[in-house]
Structure 1
Amino acid sequence: MTIKTLEDLFIHELSDTHSAERQMAKALPKLARATHNPDLAAAFELHLEQTNVQIERLDQVVELLGARLKRIKCAAMEGLVEESKDVIESMDKGPLRDAALIGGAQKVEHYEIASYGTLCALAKQLGHTDAVKLLKATLDEEKATDEKLTLLAEAGGNQMAAEAG
């Protein structure tokens, strides 16, 4: 896709983020099954529900704008999902794997925060007020998920991993 305008860039970023969210929707059930800590599994399951709503919001933005998403695959998310697969394959189920999965999940959240921040800024610049509201709602959810993951790590997940090693 040739990007020549700010609108083209916005549609490209929207398409990339849509791909990222769809990849996460596929990966989250695997992450939940790979955990030792039931609270972490529940957090991944809750995030799957949120991710499905976030995909719906992205679809609403596309519909509002009368736009068409580009067929692209988010390479950044593909790499982050691959890292999680490597963690699952290289570590036994337990606190150490949970600590690694939390770290990987936070990488994902930080990527998504950056993506939605960019989308909000572009939508605002382009005057897509209704789109900004939808994108901002997701941005806030991504920030809250990152905070929940930090709390899980600080509430003993990392300490249990240290004691297990």
Structure 2
Amino acid sequence: MPSHDVLRELFITGLVNAHAVEKQALSIMTPQVARIEHYPEVADRLRAHIEETNGQIARLEEILASFETSSSTIKDLGLSMSGSMAAITHSMAGDEIVKNSFANYAFEHFEIAAYKSLLVMADDGGFSTATAALKQSLGEEEAMAAWIDESLPMVTRRYATLYAEGGSLKAKV
């Protein structure tokens, strides 16, 4: 087992990385929700998850502060920019809503894995004060992934129906 100092260093690095990933999530979801036209339930769920994500960021900042450190502006900015580029790329596709659903589903599972890993490090390193906050964030990510999974048939069918009817497939411009 690595030393306590090594586990502390790895845990802090993981927290900083998770913070940057949550910032990236915001940069992906915010433009999506602004462009959704024919899928009000998706827009509503994204708005709710944006609020959850802001809470996750605040919890990560609290945990980092307890270690007398903070997030990485460079990592936050870099991942936010890459998230914005992904959102822009999908916005040019006629099947934007379907591609966004795929990407969001994958991204939620990336976040789930990150929180599970942080919980292992918190347990192994004895950082139990962080456990409740990390479990709360994990639960929110799992719930969002489950919602995307459950809603994908509806999104796909509505997209196909709009396509067949010749309706507007593009989101709002």
TM-score strictly above 0.5: yes
Q: Give yes or no for contact 1:10–1:119 (8 Å, CA) kept in 2.
A: yes
The 2-side partners of 1:68 and 1:79 are apart by: 21
Moved over 4 A (4+): 74-81
State the partner residue of 1:82: 85
Aligned equivalents of 1:120, 1:77: Cα separation in 2: 24
Distance, in Å, in 2 between the alignment partners of 1:21 and 1:123 is: 19
Q: Give the one of 148, 156, 159 matched to 1:158.
A: 156
* Pairwise CA distance, 1:79: 4.4
For 1:123-154, what per-residue CA distance to the aligned partner results, in whole angstroms no more than 9, with x for missing partners?
A: 11110111011111100110000111112212
Q: Tell me the equivalent position of 2:145.
A: 146
Corresponding residue for residue 15 of structure 1: 16
After superposition, the C-alpha distances for 1:21-47 in whole angstroms (9 at most, x for unaligned) are: 122223322110122311111111111
**TM-score scaled by length of structure 2:** 0.80
CA deviations over 1:51-99 (Å, ceiling 9, x no partner): 11111110111122333434442667754553332111233xxxx3222
Unaligned 5+ runs, structure 2: 165-173
Structure number with bigger Rg:
2
Aligned residues of 2:97 and 2:155 also touching (Cα < 8 A): yes
Q: Structure 1, unaligned stretches of length 5 or more?
A: none
CA contact under 8 A between 2:61 and 2:71: conserved in structure 1? no
Report the equivalent of 2:36.
Answer: 35
d(CA) in 1 for partners of 2:150, 2:53 = 20
**Hey, what does 1:58 align to over in structure 2?**
60
SS at match of 1:90: coil
Give the AA of the match of 1:106.
Y
Q: Which amino acid aligns with 2:63?
A: V
Residue 123 to residue 140, structure 1, CA distance change in 2 (3 Å): same
Query: Which AA in structure 2 matches 1:157?
Result: V
**Percent identity over the alignment?**
24
Q: Displacement of 1:121 after TM fit?
A: 0.8
TM-score normalised per structure 1: 0.84
Query: 1:77 touches 1:108 (CA, 8 Å); kept in 2?
Result: no
**35, 49, 52: which is aligned to 2:51?**
49
How many angstroms apart in 1 are the aligned matches of 2:18 and 2:93? 28
